[in-house]
Homo-oligomer: A and B are copies of this chain.
Amino acid sequence: MLTCFGESHGKCIGAVIDGCPAGLPLSEKDIQQELDKRRPGASKISTPRREKYLAEILSGIYNGFTTGAPICILVQNLDVDSRPYKLIKNRPRPGHADYSARVRYGGFNDFRGGGRFSARVTIAYTIAGAIAKKILNTINIEVLAHTTQIGPIRLSKKIASEEIRKNVYQNTVRCADPEIARLMENEVLKVMNEEDSLGGIVECIALSVPAGLGDPIFDTLDADLAKMVFNIPAVKGVEVGAGFGVASLKGSENNDQFIIDENRVTALTNNAGGILGGLSTGMPIVVRVAFKPTSSIAKKQKTVDLSQMKEVEMKLSGRYDPCIVPRAVPIVESCVAMVLVDHAIRLNIIPKVLQE
């Protein structure tokens, strides 16, 4: 179970992971490696907030192994510049949580950099995801995400998991096809120059997930995946397998017919995305997630001044990614890994003490 704390411009972002089995080898390096995947400053298309995220383990590890006690891991906020945010105190940015948060918390919320609503909170997800992936490794489950769409540029050909492993971190947009990646990069640069931003889609695949994971009802595997993924800021849609495409299919097209392959039950197709009845089927889990374009844009927009209750115009400065999709790739991976490890623990597939 993940508890997280911290704000964009506060002292730090932290994650507390409870329920991690004892006996997992774990070091700050394991965490750092995953954090580096989502680091801004990694490329010309991301925010100039250039700090290095440094993970610090506060508890739960002894002699290099998890102890079974809650693991707290912190990342300090170093390169913080809150000046550009004074503007937004009374002027909610379109597309942001500024307005709804102000109503919810009576104006007491820390609005600097979006505060608790900044994508920066996903540092905590990445930390927990790093641990989840290490646990899943012990039962050979692999979780792989990649960008399939940025703005108008889509990856339409079928991608082998080998290509994801090989190519995704070789380009700045985290696309498994190098050619499409180039197109996506160009698109981002173009829109960046227009002082605008782009949305996109991340696909995540989990391999070697055994059949039977999930707790119907109400904790089905797809429901828990959808819930976790919707907790990532900027997500507006989640689909499994053929997803929204099923609306246009006939049953005879959509049903994955069962066959036997090397004495194991499998299916001719995977429109189910590896989940039927809320339970994993043993086929790859396939989840797709829609991210909206970065809300913070330099272009002029309309908003209201809440202290005067009048309409105003706003031009945001500050440091923003023109497209958050590339950074979302390791975050979606982390979310999927967390849900899978939780269900694997529930189903007794992962022991309470891991033996080396």
Residues on A facing B (Cβ under 8 Å): 2-7, 10-12, 14, 16, 18, 22-23, 58-60, 62, 65-72, 74, 92, 94-97, 99-101, 103-106, 108-110, 112, 114-117, 121, 149-152, 191, 194, 196-201, 210-214, 216-218, 220, 222-231, 233, 235-260, 263, 265, 267-268, 271-273, 275-282, 290-297, 299, 301-304, 306, 309-311, 347-348, 351-353, 355
B18 touches A3 (CB 8 A): yes
| Given A100-B280, A110-B67: A216 in contact with B59 (beta carbons within 8 A) | no
Copy total for this chain = 4
Contacts of A97 in B (CB 8 A): 216, 276-279
Please pick, from B66, B69, B105, B310, the residue contacting A353 in the complex, using a CB distance under 8 A: B105
Which 3 A-B pairs give the minimum distances between C-beta atoms?
Answer: A97-B277, A237-B239, A106-B353
User: Can you show 6 pairs from A to B with CB atoms below 8 A apart?
Assistant: A10-B62, A16-B16, A67-B115, A69-B116, A220-B230, A251-B294
A108 touches B68 (CB 8 A): yes
Contacts of A191 in B (CB 8 A): 250
* Contact call A108/B23, Cβ cutoff below 8 A: yes
Cβ-defined contact, B216 with A94, below 8 A? no
Interchain CB contact (< 8 A) of A246 among B233, B293, B347: B293
Q: Check A10/B58 contact, CB under 8 A, given A108-B65, A117-B216, A228-B218.
A: yes
- Given A106-B23, A301-B255, A352-B348, the answer on whether A246 and B276 have CB atoms closer than 8 Å is no
Decide if B353 touches A108 in the complex (CB within 8 Å). yes
User: In angstroms, how far is the closest chain B Cβ from the Cβ of A104?
Assistant: 4
Chain B hits for A272, CB < 8 A: 95
Q: What is the chain B residue whose CB lies nearest that of A151?
A: B248
Q: Which residues of B contact A260 (CB under 8 A)?
A: 304, 309-311
Task: Give Cα A296 to B297, complex, Å.
Answer: 49
A148 and B278 alpha carbons, distance in the complex (Å) = 24
- Report B-chain residues with C-beta under 8 Å of the C-beta of A248: 149, 151-152, 199
User: What is the chain B residue whose CB lies nearest that of A266?
Assistant: B304
